Structure 1
Amino acid sequence: MSFDILLSIWAIALVLALAAIAAIVRPLFLVLTDMCGGRDRARFWTAYASVLTLAAPLLVVSAPGLLNSPDNSGLSSEILQKAVFYILAGIVCAFLIVGRIIWAPVEQMLAETSADRHEARRGGAA
């Protein structure tokens, strides 16, 4: 694959990843502010998620041989289709990783809240 084609694919990856980051950054920051107990921590984890979301698709489409076309005739629709698929797969994987990282403490907070409610009911009934 020529360098021009690779640059085109990286540009597509950057645009799609930046669009995904733009869509999620504000709501993610708000959730993380509540979870982390402060804006500085939330800023760090939002930046972490953004870097992961940006790097994942670039890493995937940069894998050697992943996007080679049999005819090497340039930027074919097959190469473009594969590139977009792998870019979006990289973004989804990044979101899944970030979601799992965020969900673990949320699950714990929900369990504690449920236990507190249960304890309050038991205490109120006594």
Structure 2
Amino acid sequence: MPDLRIDPFPSSAELTTLWSAAWNTATAPDFSRILPRSLAHIGAYHDNRLVGFVNIAWDGGIHAFLLDTCVHPDMRRQGIATQLVREATRIARERGAEWLHVDFEPHLTSFYRACGFRPTGAGLIKLT
């Protein structure tokens, strides 16, 4: 199993490599602006290579939000995402969050249910 690291602040190159493989896109967000504002982030490392990631954003109070959960395609189906989400849940609780939110596509419903999330009603507006 990969080594989970709390707040590792991976390099832009590491994140772009993982992001490109996991999300099948050439560009990644500018995490150098995002991660310093996060409650925490967790990297999964295998042979010192970033193979999984989750960001825990927050409102500065009691609400935290899982974002950007991903695992490199070569490392999927090994429980890494489950480890990341469980560790994120633990860290968010430890750092004072009372609620942990996540948005996801329908095909991930069973995964997030297995991680302990319950369905809720929500709203969404596309801004761009």
TM interval, short-chain normalised: under 0.3
Name the structure with the higher strand share: 2
**Larger Rg, first or second structure (1 or 2):** 1
Greater length-normalized contact order (CA 8 Å, ≥ 6 residues apart): 1
